[in-house]
Amino acid sequence: MLSFVVRKVDSKLLPDVYRLERACFSHAYTWFYVKTLFRRSPETFLVAVSGSSVLGYAVAEVKGVLGHLISIAVDHRHRKRGVGEALFAELSKALSSLHAKKIVLEVRKSNIEAQQFYRKLGFKQCGLIIGYYEDREDALVFSRQPLPPTSK
């Protein structure tokens, strides 16, 4: 059984998050953008850690009542072991506490594994954006509502 905790990211872990970003995505975010997300979204930038190792991360932003999942990534060695689900569960709580009523995200049309993951979490496809990514690949838009209530 994999043992890990999900918590807010701190600046010391950002280099590990960036390494994970680059390992997981062929069109990874820049180091500057990862630092920008950390500054803009400290309440909704989470990591899954085991000891000193970052197993995964998730980050979202809130605008009004809309939560936007920007990215979620899990080290390929730890996929399908509950890390992504745990990250999303904690992120949902954080978004709900910030009054988000709905979560939206974009996913590459070619990323079937991610689409299956989002559907497993209760997301439904609600749109298509032609040429969304820098390489002109289309994005599928997924949404989920309402967020599960937070337990205090």
Specify the residue for token string 């992120």: 91
Do 57 and 47 touch, CB atoms closer than 8 A? yes
Domain assignment present for 99: yes
The type of residue at 149 is P
Domain assignment present for 150: no
Range of the domain at 135: 5-144
Distance between CA atoms of residues 101 and 36, nearest Å = 24
CATH number for the domain spanning 80: value is 3.40.630.30
CA 61 and chain centroid, separation: 10
Specify the residue for token string 């730890």: 78
Domain assignment present for 149: no
Kindly give the confidence (pLDDT) of every residue in the chain, 152 residues in length, as a single tens digit, with 9 standing for 90 and above: 789 999 999 999 999 999 999 999 988 999 999 999 999 999 999 999 999 899 999 999 999 999 999 999 999 999 999 999 999 999 999 999 999 999 999 999 999 999 999 999 999 999 999 999 989 999 999 999 866 555 54
User: Count of domains in the chain?
Assistant: 1
Helix (H, G, I), strand (E, B) or coil at 65: coil
